[in-house]
């Protein structure tokens, strides 16, 4: 994996951010915090409410030319609901909380499809 290409994480909860960094780092991904404007391969962003997510998503899209994976405890489980939510938000993929390490890595892999 090219360590110059990284995943930016926008997560306000320190414990969740640290867990994401650990799981992704163990899988071989390079991680940066949101706000680092270096080009990245993927942005992972937590949203408290998908209904109010538009300003955050638009600000991330303005900074990064990369797909966005959105996390939220407000998403419903199930492929159809997740695909519909991603389309509605204009992002590559959504992942409902809580999620497992395996689910996170699978969502990251799917979000990166076609972006490499």
* CA distance linking residue 38 with residue 6, whole number of Å: 9
What are the chain's domains?
6-112 (3.40.50.2300)
pLDDT for 39? 59
Give residue 23's pLDDT band: very low, low, confident or very high (50, 70, 90): very high
Residue 46 in tokens: 């937590």
Predicted pLDDT at 113 = 83
Q: Is the pLDDT of residue 25 over 70?
A: yes
pLDDT tens column, 55-111:
999 999 888 889 999 998 877 665 545 777 788 888 999 898 889 999 999 999 988
How far is 110 from 114, CA to CA, in rounded Å? 9
User: pLDDT tens-digit profile of 31-56?
Assistant: 876 666 565 789 999 998 877 888 99
Residue 18's pLDDT band (boundaries 50, 70, 90)? very high
- Whole-model pTM: value is 0.84
Q: Helices 101-112 and 14-26, interaxial angle, to 10°?
A: 70
30 pLDDT above the threshold of 70: yes
């Amino acid at each position: 994996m090219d360590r110059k290409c990284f995943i930016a994480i926008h997560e306000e909860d320190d414990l969740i951010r640290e867990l994401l960094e650990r799981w992704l780092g163990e899988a071989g991904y390079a991680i940066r915090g949101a706000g680092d404007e270096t080009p990245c391969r993927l942005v992972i962003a937590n949203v408290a409410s998908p209904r109010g997510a538009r300003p955050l998503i638009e600000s991330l899209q303005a900074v990064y030319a990369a797909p966005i994976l959105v996390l939220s405890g407000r998403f419903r489980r199930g492929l159809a609901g997740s695909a519909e939510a991603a389309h509605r938000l204009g992002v590559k993929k959504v992942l409902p909380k809580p999620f497992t390490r395996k689910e996170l890595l699978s969502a990251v892999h799917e979000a990166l499809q076609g972006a490499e």
